[in-house]
Amino acid sequence: MSEPIHFIHPKQRLAFHDIEGFEALLGLALDMRSSWNHATDWIWRQLDEQLWSQTRNPWVVLQTVSQGRLRQVLGDADVRRRLATLVEARRQAAEAPAWFQQAHPQAALGAVAYFSMEFMLGESLPIYSGGLGNVAGDQLKAAGDLGLPVYGVGLLYQSGYFRQTIDSAGAQRALNPFNDPGQLPVTPLRQADGEWLRVRLELPGQLIWLRGWQVQVGRVRLFLLDSNDMANYPVHRGITSQLYGGGSELRLTQELVLGIGGWQLLRALGLQPEVCHLNEGHAAFAVLERARQFMADTGQPFDVALAATRAGNLFTTHTAVTVGFDRFAPALVEQYLGAYAEQRLGISRRALLALGRLEAGNDGEPFNMAWLAIRGSGAVNGVSRLHGAVSRALFAPLFPRWPLAEVPVGHITNGVHMPTWDSAQADELWTTACGKNRWSGTVGTLGEDIACVSDAQLWQFRTAASAALVDYARARLVWQMGASGAPEAWRETARHVLDCNTLTLGFARRFVAYKRPNLLLHDPQRLIRLLTHPQRPVQLILAGKAHPEDRRGQAMIRQWVEFVRRPEVRHRAVFLADYDMQLTERLVQGVDVWLNTPRRPWEACGTSGMKTLVNGGLNLSVLDGWWAEAYTPEVGWALGNGEQDPDEAVQDARDAEALYALLENEVVPQFYQRDAQGIPTAWVARMRQSMARLTPQYSAARTVREYTETHYLPAAVAYRERAAERGARAAALVRWQRELDEKWASLRIGEVRVTTQDGLHQVEAQLYLGDLDADAVRVELYADGQPAECRALQRAHALVGATHGYAYRLELPAERPAGDYTLRVVPAHPDAKVPLESAHIIWER
């Protein structure tokens, strides 16, 4: 693919360029690969040990180091030799054929654009909040490992998501430190002549500038936009100020920048991805801009352009409840997009609003980004098997009278980028057992290989990880207390909290009501007994932020902070402030058991528990999200049985009781039941099963392979077909849709007769098509069940005297009673996705 943009480093401190080895450092420092490949750590540590350990940001180290220090370190021939080896390894990793090149050498897939509001790639680039950013970041990294031609598209926020401190009264304080782009591993995108690549976004009465940036993420790149350009009005400079801050107007403008600005940026870079992956509905405006550019290229009207480009769009939904969808007041959407609709898309404001509405004519209905996304996509998926089913119910209103199972939402279960979340020791263990490139291809014998590691080795690995976490938690606690002005006596206590031979439970996530972060506090006395048991104690490490607007979430934080300050548990329970990627890493590497207690089925997938797998931690979770499909008794523990009481208080009490009982009767005894060598053999057996069976399955490499084969490759083909000859097939599809819309009402099912003989049902149905073309529909016999049964009838002969009336026939084995079947008529077209692209349906009864 040709790219007119040349990559130069405007931030290069010119005086340094004559230092031998400096160029090599630049390339390494700007690659987010350092967030999972630790081969370069030593060089940053050598340049500035303290700064490195605090920031883990090679770019900051390189920006800060003095010329003298740089000359001194690079003056060492051995350092330069090691550096050259690293540069060569990076080049090879970037160029060697990877899974995608090997598995799909003939693929007609030029590029995938992956749009997301947030990306969690590393501590050095704080442009994320939590789970959604984690999914985006880990999938981008895995896509690179697999050699997939993916470009990420996101926003560069001036102050990311808020940072948390806990004050001396136990309350959360929200801070918004400024992200100085000069200190972030991002580089401006420049034109060949050095001009900063910027795109223009049309807001009401105003064109604003959006600046383009790029981030190198191993083999792939992430493009970011920000509006903090001097040429913009202050109000517009603030559009990209904060992630999930402000009100709905700020959110809307951010989503315009992401979707419309993002697609324009790709075009300005000379990129024309066949596939556009919308990670959550936030990015759905990309659908409009992609169609607009198709209109400009081909001269087609909006509906044809949408039909053509839709085939290449994929929408991944992450929400388990309708309130989770982004919705905007119609007046606000009209204010910002009214002129765009009329002048650029050539459609009325009402037609635009209808794309985000259930009922086109309902003027009071807000504009729902998820509706726009599904109407603008050729495929839709949820993020776990259970979430797929939940999403089909959420999207069912768009497909009235269709069986739930046929609502066109599938699922691809998330996974995590294992190299990012494994500890150095886990990496070593897996490398010895399974080899170096284990996460970059197909699964092969990974499971069997890791299962061969001995009990003693596994247990040693585990106990060392616990000890490392205890050290880290103590240090972080002391530091955190210092920052919040706690008395010296507290800090002294903090230096001795926790114990490395005690069973460690971890709970860290967003503090929001549905995740029930205080479930363990249901009966504080019972929890205290668990923690302080004289022979079999338990310790607890907690972390999590509550959105600054969420009072309930903040109250739950305070509840925990007050609990951990009780003298009797102070040494067994700690709350670590400012849950972020670095803290997650340490926690998932060190805990014995990772707890998750959401209110089912609100957790769409959940990913934090997957991060413990590679490190030998075990999961204890409600059967929700990924755990509902991953759990078996050999690999961990399940809370509840997947049933849900309509009364939340009743359910909470029941789950709390089950959680205590599970810990008291199973988890704790098993951890402390040791053989003569001191190994808890049953525990280690669980670890082994969890590592062997679940790690390959819940790795982002599996997720991305699945996206590629199930969606990206077919979507690229479908888009090319529809886009060919200026969208000829898309135009035909639109004609078919229109015909159905106009003439569906004239369709009528007549007599349906079933005769059963010799083990066969003979079905004959009469259908009056009215003005409809017989080829535009399919007549089917449908029977409910798991799975449902659906068989097409054949058109037989015209009905006497009827205009456009036909008899349809089918013969089928009489394996179930004829009464189980119902006749129905649905749209049919060789190119169309039904019901996604035409949701008409008529039933016999």
Least spacing, CB of residue 72 vs ligand PLP, in Å: 37
Residue 829: count of CB within 10 angstroms of its CB: 18
Residue type, 380: V
Least spacing, CB of residue 591 vs ligand PLP, in Å: 13
Kind plus residue range of the DSSP H or E element containing 650: helix 648-662
Residue closer to ligand PLP, measured from CB, 459 or 602 = 602
Binding mask 59-88 for ligand PLP (x = CB under 6 A): ------------------------------
Q: Where are the alpha helices (DSSP H) in 212-316?
A: 234-237, 248-256, 262-268, 285-298, 302-310
Residues 589-618 that bind ligand PLP (CB under 6 A): 606-608
Least spacing, CB of residue 159 vs ligand PLP, in Å: 17
Beta bridge partners of 766: 807
Least spacing, CB of residue 369 vs ligand PLP, in Å: 21
Among 116, 164, 584, 697, binds ligand PLP (CB under 6 A): 584
Q: Percentage helix, strand, coil, to 5, in the chain? A: 45, 20, 35
Among 579, 602, 627, 806, binds ligand PLP (CB under 6 A): 579
Least spacing, CB of residue 654 vs ligand PLP, in Å: 22
Query: How many residues sit in the footprint of ligand PLP (CB under 6 A)?
Result: 12
Residue closer to ligand PLP, measured from CB, 526 or 600 = 600
Least spacing, CB of residue 316 vs ligand PLP, in Å: 15
Least spacing, CB of residue 437 vs ligand PLP, in Å: 24
Cα–Cα distance measured from residue 391 to residue 260, given in angstroms and rounded to the nearest whole number? 26
Cα torsion angle, 441, 444, 447, 449, sign? negative
Task: Tell me the backbone φ, ψ of residue 261, rounded to 5 degrees.
Answer: -60, -40
Residues 662-681 that bind ligand PLP (CB under 6 A): none
Task: Tell me the backbone φ, ψ of residue 438, rounded to 5 degrees.
Answer: -65, -25
Rg (CA), the chain: 29
Residue closer to ligand PLP, measured from CB, 135 or 283 = 135
- By three-state DSSP, how is residue 719 classified? helix
Residues 133-192 that bind ligand PLP (CB under 6 A): 134
Among 127, 225, 581, 704, binds ligand PLP (CB under 6 A): 581
Residue closer to ligand PLP, measured from CB, 313 or 504 = 504
Task: Tell me the backbone φ, ψ of residue 49, rounded to 5 degrees.
Answer: -55, -50
The interface region with ligand PLP, picked from 185-193, 494-502, 580-588, 680-688 by CB under 6 A, is 580-588
Rounded (5°) CA angle 505-509-515: 95
Least spacing, CB of residue 250 vs ligand PLP, in Å: 22
- By three-state DSSP, how is residue 187 classified? strand
What strands, in cross-sheet order, belong to the sheet with 760-768?
748-757, 760-768, 805-813, 794-798
Binding mask 493-522 for ligand PLP (x = CB under 6 A): ----------------xx------------
Least spacing, CB of residue 423 vs ligand PLP, in Å: 15
Residue closer to ligand PLP, measured from CB, 21 or 517 = 517
Least spacing, CB of residue 420 vs ligand PLP, in Å: 10
Q: Does 580 bind ligand PLP (CB under 6 A)?
A: yes
Q: Check residue 263 and give left, alpha or beta (phi > 0: left; psi -120 to 50: alpha).
A: alpha
Q: Check residue 99 and give left, alpha or beta (phi > 0: left; psi -120 to 50: alpha).
A: alpha
Least spacing, CB of residue 694 vs ligand PLP, in Å: 15
290, two tokens? 């992609």
The interface region with ligand PLP, picked from 361-369, 457-465, 577-585, 676-684 by CB under 6 A, is 577-585
Cα–Cα distance measured from residue 221 to residue 114, given in angstroms and rounded to the nearest whole number? 10
Cα–Cα distance measured from residue 94 to residue 117, given in angstroms and rounded to the nearest whole number? 26
Nearest one of 252, 208, 244 to 226, comparing CA atoms: 208
Least spacing, CB of residue 625 vs ligand PLP, in Å: 8
Beta bridge partners of 316: 279, 381
Tallying the residues shown for the chain, one arrives at: 845
Residue closer to ligand PLP, measured from CB, 608 or 695 = 608
Residues 426-455 that bind ligand PLP (CB under 6 A): none
Binding mask 116-135 for ligand PLP (x = CB under 6 A): --------------xx--x-
303, two tokens? 């509906």
- By three-state DSSP, how is residue 620 classified? strand
Residue closer to ligand PLP, measured from CB, 287 or 469 = 469
Residues in contact with ligand PLP by the rule CB under 6 A: 130-131, 134, 509-510, 579-581, 584, 606-608
